Amino acid sequence: MAKEKTVYVCSNCGQESPKWVGKCPSCGAWNTYVEEIVRKETVNKRPVSGMETAKAKPVTLDEIAADDEPRIDLHDAELNRVLGGGLVQGSLVLIGGEPGIGKSTLVLQTILRIPEKRILYISGEESARQLKLRADRLSGTSADCLIVCETSLEQIYVHIKNTRPDLVIIDSIQTISTETLESSPGSIAQVRECSASILRFAKETHTAVILIGHINKEGSIAGPKVLEHIVDTVLQFEGDQHYMYRILRSIKNRFGSTAELGIYEMRQDGLRQVSNPSELLLSQDHEGMSGIAIASAIEGIRPFLIETQALVSSAVYGNPQRSATGFDIRRMNMLLAVLEKRVGFKLAQKDVFLNIAGGLKVNDPAIDLAVISAILSSNMDTTIEPEICMAGEIGLSGEIRPVNRIEQRIGEAEKLGFKRFILPKYNLQGLNASKLKIELIPVRKVEEAFRALFG
């Protein structure tokens, strides 16, 4: 006989409590406990995968084969690189992102390009007709891609047992529920139990599973934090809906590096891979325009050139405005203070607006030099030569600090035809400049960089 009872569960870490508490004793978060109605069985019944597999037995390290994990080629260079070379068989991958950002579009267009694998797409949010309309828009068909609309975990295992797929897609994990729990789909207990059961199925049968997940208003994966610990890989799909670029980041990856980055362009017929983002992020012609500087940035381990735009004008109101798009506003205020204190440029009564072209958000400190160069260029209404690229972090004393991966940054600028590259003087150590066709201008302080730019 099953008994119903009410428990309070922390939405951050999944800790249970018989009564409501303000501060979670496990993770320390405030006001995260929510009420859930659960049904406790008289026996310890858990959702099962429905697959009969042999039990594992202990083996020594010498008996374990150290071969590379077999991977599934997804025929998408960006997605393959972010995953570490492809999708590992038996892995559980979670893709999260804002509503409407393109998670389902990315997954659907990817599986339509894999005709050699049998794929089962389980949709808990959309109807089969909606998926058909999206597939027609993506101009893709696959005879071995099976679609089923289902939200019951037990029925999902029945479909898997009948079709024996090589890859399973679940869209989304927040809509799936198991009969062993009384709580509603999307609750902490349901997400935790369903994802743990799917993990056991993936490991026992060596079937790759891709989960699509929602995110909360803070930008992290919705549901208990244990969900991110259960899966093998967590991918974050992000971007501004008003811009056409999307970035796929790897937050956690047990089979590859978390420093990789994939860039896509949203189009009418789906997401297009951007193999060379530098050419798209740079405007075609900015000759004769002030307030524009080109920076060589690194996102993950991928170099690309970005256009930094600044506008400085006299303040109309008493308090000058400070605005930054795609750049940390607090860091911009620090750079303005360095300009005023160390270099002597008076910007206290000026409005300063900063924009990173293309709608990207860049956290690389190496673009500091381009930021202050663009601000100064706009303030003096003097153009920076379009053939100059730069990279350097600005310290509080006005020194230009060294940056990492300088060879990749210079190589990207040289590949796109830039003639001169301003870099920190310390980065010249160990750098073989004889093979480079680009002129290197080492600088130690902000004043030296300004003399190289403006004479």
- Is the residue at 60 inside a domain? no
Q: Are 420 and 439 in contact (CB under 8 A)?
A: yes
Surface-to-core class of residue 69, CB atoms within 10 Å of its CB (0-12 exposed, 13-18 middle, 19+ buried): middle
Ligand-binding annotation for 28, yes or no, is no
Report pLDDT for 42.
44
Is position 32 within any domain? yes
So what's the pLDDT on residue 43?
A: 43
Together in a domain, 308 and 449: yes
Tell whether 291 and 271 lie within a shared domain: no
- For residue 214, the domain's CATH number is 3.40.50.300
Task: Tell whether 78 is covered by a domain.
Answer: yes
The answer to whether the annotation marks 218 as part of a ligand binding site is no
Looking at the fold, whether 243 and 359 belong to one and the same domain comes out as no
Residue 101 annotated as binding site: yes
In a domain, 65, yes or no: no
Backbone angles phi, psi at 311, to 5 degrees: -135, 120
266 and 287 within one domain: no
Q: Is 97 annotated as a binding residue?
A: yes
Task: Identify the CA nearest to 96 among candidates 108, 85, 106.
Answer: 106
Q: Which domain range does residue 8 map to?
A: 4-39
356 and 249 housed in the same domain: no
Whether 296 is in a domain gets the answer yes
Which of 275, 303, 322 is the last residue in one of the domains?
A: 275
Contact 412, 438 (CB under 8 A): no
My answer on whether 82 and 216 are in the same domain is yes
Q: What is the DSSP string of 358-397?
A: TS-----GGGHHHHHHHHHHHHHT-PPPTTEEE--EEPTT
Query: Do 165 and 294 have their domain in common?
Result: no
Give the predicted TM-score (pTM) of the model: 0.75
CA distances from 183 to 4, 45, 225 (A): 10, 16, 18
**100 assigned binding-site residue:** yes
204 and 130 together in one domain:
yes
Asked whether residue 48 is assigned to any structural domain, the reply reads no
Instruction: Report yes or no on 251 lying in a domain.
Output: yes
Distance of alpha carbon 20 from the chain centroid: 35
Residues 35 and 157 in one domain: no
The residue from 275, 300, 331 where one domain ends is: 275
Give pLDDT tens digits along the chain (455 positions).
455 677 888 877 778 888 888 888 887 888 888 887 765 554 445 555 555 555 678 889 888 877 777 888 998 989 998 998 899 999 999 999 888 888 999 999 999 888 888 999 999 988 999 998 888 888 777 667 899 999 999 999 999 999 999 999 998 898 999 988 878 888 888 888 899 999 999 999 999 999 999 887 666 776 677 788 899 999 998 876 667 788 898 989 998 888 788 889 888 888 998 888 777 777 666 677 899 999 999 987 788 899 999 999 988 877 889 999 999 999 999 999 999 988 888 888 899 999 998 778 888 999 999 999 999 999 999 999 989 999 999 999 999 999 998 999 999 999 888 999 999 999 998 888 788 889 999 999 999 999 999 87
Closest listed residue to residue 135, CA positions, set 173, 108, 157, 169? 108
| Domain tally, the chain | 3
Looking at the fold, whether 316 and 407 belong to one and the same domain comes out as: yes
User: Does the annotation list 102 as a binding residue?
Assistant: yes
Report the C-alpha gap between 258 and 273 in whole angstroms: 19
Which one of 227, 260, 275 terminates a domain? 275
413 phi/psi in degrees, rounded to 5:
-65, -40
62 within domain boundaries:
no
Q: What percent of the chain has pLDDT over 90?
A: 44
Residues 301, 254, single domain; the answer is no
What's the rounded Cα separation, in Å, for the pair 363 and 324? 13
Co-location of 298 and 222 in the same domain? no
User: CA 17: distance to chain centroid?
Assistant: 34
103 is in an annotated binding site: yes
Q: What is the pLDDT of residue 285?
A: 67
DSSP 8-state class, residue 385: P
Q: What is the dihedral of CA 255, 261, 266, 267, to 10 degrees?
A: -80
For residues 125 and 151, the answer to whether their CB atoms sit within 8 Å is no
pLDDT score of 129: 92
CATH of the domain at 371: 3.30.230.10
pLDDT at 330: 95
Nearest C-alpha neighbor of 261 from the set 300, 234, 304: 300
pLDDT at 52: 53
In whole angstroms, what is the distance from residue 359 CA to residue 318 CA? Answer: 30
